Amino acid sequence: MNIVQKINGILENVMKNNQEWCSDHLLEIINDILHMASDISKKQGDETNSGEQQIPQMVYDSFMVNFNHFFTLLGASDVQIVDKAAANILAFIHFSMVQGINQNQGLVIKESHLALILPAFKSEKTSVCKNLIKSLYWAMSLKKNALKPSSKNTSEIMKVSEKLLASSEDKSLTNTAREVVKLCKSILGT
């Protein structure tokens, strides 16, 4: 697990020094390790030993220190970094749903994150929009500690979602956007 701490240290240094040039590579490495750990967790019970069974939770918990960095990187000038940051946000959400993973209390999308999320939709890259709208849907539909945006932010989320509905041909994206519009209307009381 020493490699995870080294990656965390490198990303922290990159974030302090605003070095976008290597962020996309780090984000890709983190995403790959998260997916490998998720795969281990999914096949647990087959042929995994007790040491392997602890790896997914250790990876999830160790990388969680980077979760807020992903939101900051949504404002990067390089669309590849924005894309990978959005993918990592959703990867953490998906990972938290894997059976046997104890969700970390740091896995939460807050009102303050919306100032970083909403402008990222302007990239109009399908994968960015899809990952972010799915992340917002998850956050807004939680039974406990759901994201309850201000009226202004709820209206902005609804506008973004309606635009995605009108302009995207990606069925998964439009289905999620439709659900987000319903949640927004419920919050706004319309």
pLDDT of 38 reads 83
pLDDT of 24 reads 83
**Most confident among 8-12, 30-34, 55-59 (mean pLDDT):** 30-34
pTM of the model: 0.88
Half-sphere exposure of 153 (CA within 13 A, CB side): 16
Task: Kindly list the domain boundaries of the chain, sorted by start residue.
Answer: 1-107, 109-190
User: What pLDDT digit, counting tens, does each position of 143-176 carry?
Assistant: 888 899 999 999 999 999 999 999 999 999 999 9
- The C-alpha angle 43, 49, 51, rounded to 5 degrees, equals 105
pLDDT of 177 reads 97
Judged by DSSP in three states, 5 sits in helix
> Rounded CA gap, 15 and 129, in Å?
23
Judged by DSSP in three states, 28 sits in helix
* Contact present, 74 and 116 (Cβ < 8 Å): yes
Residue 14 has pLDDT above 90, yes or no: no
Whole-number Cα distances in Å, 33 to 48, 158, 174: 17, 34, 29
User: What pLDDT digit, counting tens, does each position of 27-56 carry?
Assistant: 999 999 988 888 887 776 555 566 666 888
pLDDT of 147 reads 93
